[in-house]
Amino acid sequence: MLNIKQNEYKEEVKMARKIWIVDAFTHKAYGGNPAGVMIVDDFPADAQNIAAELNLSETAFVKPLGGNHFHIRWMTPAVEVRLCGHATLAACHTLYEQGLFTHNKIQLESLSGPLFVTREDDFFILDFPLQPTGPVIDHTFLAQALGAEEHVIEAVQAHDDVIVLLESEEVLKNLTPDFAALNTIDARGIIVTAKSQHYDFVSRFFAPRVGVDEDPVTGSAHCKLADYWQKKLKKTTFKAYQLSARGGEIHLSIEKDRVHLKGKAVTIMEGLWKV
């Protein structure tokens, strides 16, 4: 039998930091996009090491500022990023489960300015900045890197990403990109999208430059996709699906210069970070 001295165990727990893994943009475990979440008194000096050790697309670190006010930061396994949707959803889900999401609406300070999150029934609604898409760019190299030379309709600059439009959902589903080639493109990530029979649009997101070859469900990418598809479809509400192996559904609505992303989350792990 394992011999544990009770006082030593309590001291170890006291010194350790709690951490959660949450599947976001899904209503069931093992779907959507998993994110690490740590609620902290102050941002840890080893935050990047923690994110690298978890090796998830993003880990969110959330610092309560009092009342309905928080500060959030996001780390991939390689770098800190300026905006992340699924880890924000995961963090707010954790704050709610821990009794810290005590208002209908909270504010999060971030590298992308103030973000707002509202709880509505079992959903969280993220109020994020709409990120306008820019001009059409040459897509020759992008098409080659994606392995879709004959199927690219256009490519546009999209804030810190690039959006590539393909001719069909089937082509998108079967892409097998050259990640080494994508890593040379001067963008945070490559958003590849197409029209869909069952959704307004579908997408995939590749970001080897920030340590994530393919992200399962990317809220921040939809801040650009919402603007891109409102210009294409002449509408402001969308039902979107990210066609990764795990998959995830996002409901979107545009209000002036903001976009609302609606989704659910499921906690799959709660533990102690012991270093």
Q: How far is CA 131 from CA 146, 220, 228, 238, 244, in A?
A: 24, 9, 9, 16, 23
Q: φ, ψ for residue 157 (rounded to 5)?
A: -70, 140
CA dist 230 and 245 (Å) reads 26
Q: Are strands 33-39 and 58-66 parallel, antiparallel or unpaired?
A: parallel
CA dist 173 and 82 (Å) reads 28
DSSP string covering 14-46, please? HHSEEEEEEEES-SSTT-SEEEEEEE-SS--TT
Spell out the residues 6+ positions from residue 224 whose beta carbon is closer than 8 angstroms to its own.
131, 133, 158, 159, 161, 163, 191
CA dist 37 and 247 (Å) reads 21
Query: Given 58, 169, 214, 249, which residue is catalytic?
Result: 58
Known catalytic residue: 58?
A: yes
Name the residue type at position 96: Y
User: Active-site residues: which are they?
Assistant: 58
